[in-house]
A and B are shown apart, each in its own frame.
Chain A
């Protein structure tokens, strides 16, 4: 059963991400992106990353996706739910991206992962992440807070009409 769900999610992610990449309607793309994000959250659960799964949903679906929708709505004159979009340099793009995909896949598949690796089943990662965040990663944490502040101020400054 779990296996089945896993592969379902796998396919969901690939399909929705494909829609994001190839779809013609921007609104459809955004909603497909939501599917991708939720799917990735599911993958996190399979990886025992409970905290990350929740964070993924809260930040990506609840925050970033909404921002993106705002971005679309504010930059188009909306009359219907159809906002068409187009692409450039499709041929060149597909060739080079396929080349890179082949390179990565060959690297992944040529290595024998099964030999030395045992999966580790974490239980309750929140406490561990919390501890690490305030010990080994404390400086990173503080820098991140400054960065967020900077981004906040920067975004507010940039978005003003009279720049």
Chain B
């Protein structure tokens, strides 16, 4: 616990799990959960470096802003998801492929 790499390894695992969720899940809400995992991984890194390397509060500030951004992002993303549901009756991302053509 007094070792930076224990935090960094945790954050790397958390990041990978989040990434995996984003890449493989079909449900849009589940993908959103993956995004939150990734953001949390980044936050842990910022705060850990703040304590072990830079010795100031800048990392904390960045984390505060990230949390704020995550909240905004979740709100907008869920609004989009609701729209998608109203439009198609499901929220499966792999079937939303009108980007093709």
A-B contact number at CB 8 A: 225
The dominant DSSP class at the B interface is: helix
1/0 contact trace for B1-25 toward A, CB 8 Å?
1111111111011111111110111
Which residue of the partner chain, among A6, A26, A133, A157, contacts B30 with CB atoms under 8 Å?
A26
| Alpha-carbon gap, A88 to B91, bound state (A) | 14
**Given the complex of chains A and B, what is the CA–CA distance between A85 and B29 in angstroms?**
11
Count of chain A residues near B, Cβ 8 A: 85
Q: How far is the CB of B15 from chain A (nearest CB, A)?
A: 7
Dominant secondary structure at the A interface: helix
Query: Bound state CA distance, A44 and B63, in angstroms?
Result: 11
Question: Does A155 contact B20, Cβ atoms closer than 8 Å?
Answer: no
Contact at A36–B52, with CB atoms within 8 Å? no
Given contacts A43-B7, A105-B12, A148-B68, contact A17 B17 (CB under 8 A): yes
Known contacts A47-B47, A129-B60: A100-B16 contact under CB 8 Å: yes
Chain B residues engaging chain A, CB cutoff 8 angstroms: 1-10, 12-21, 23-30, 32-34, 36-37, 40, 43-44, 47-48, 50-53, 55, 57-58, 60-61, 63-65, 67-76, 78-83, 85-86, 90-91, 94
- What are 11 A-B contacts with C-beta separation under 8 Å? A10-B6, A13-B10, A40-B44, A67-B78, A68-B74, A75-B85, A105-B9, A117-B52, A128-B60, A132-B57, A159-B78
Interface residue ranges, A against B (CB under 8 Å):
2-3, 6-7, 10, 13-14, 17-18, 20-21, 26, 29-30, 33, 36-37, 40, 43-44, 46-49, 51-52, 55-56, 59-60, 63-64, 67-68, 70-72, 74-75, 85-90, 93-94, 96-98, 100-101, 104-105, 108-109, 113-114, 117-122, 125, 128-129, 132-133, 137, 140, 144, 147-148, 150-152, 154-159, 161, 163
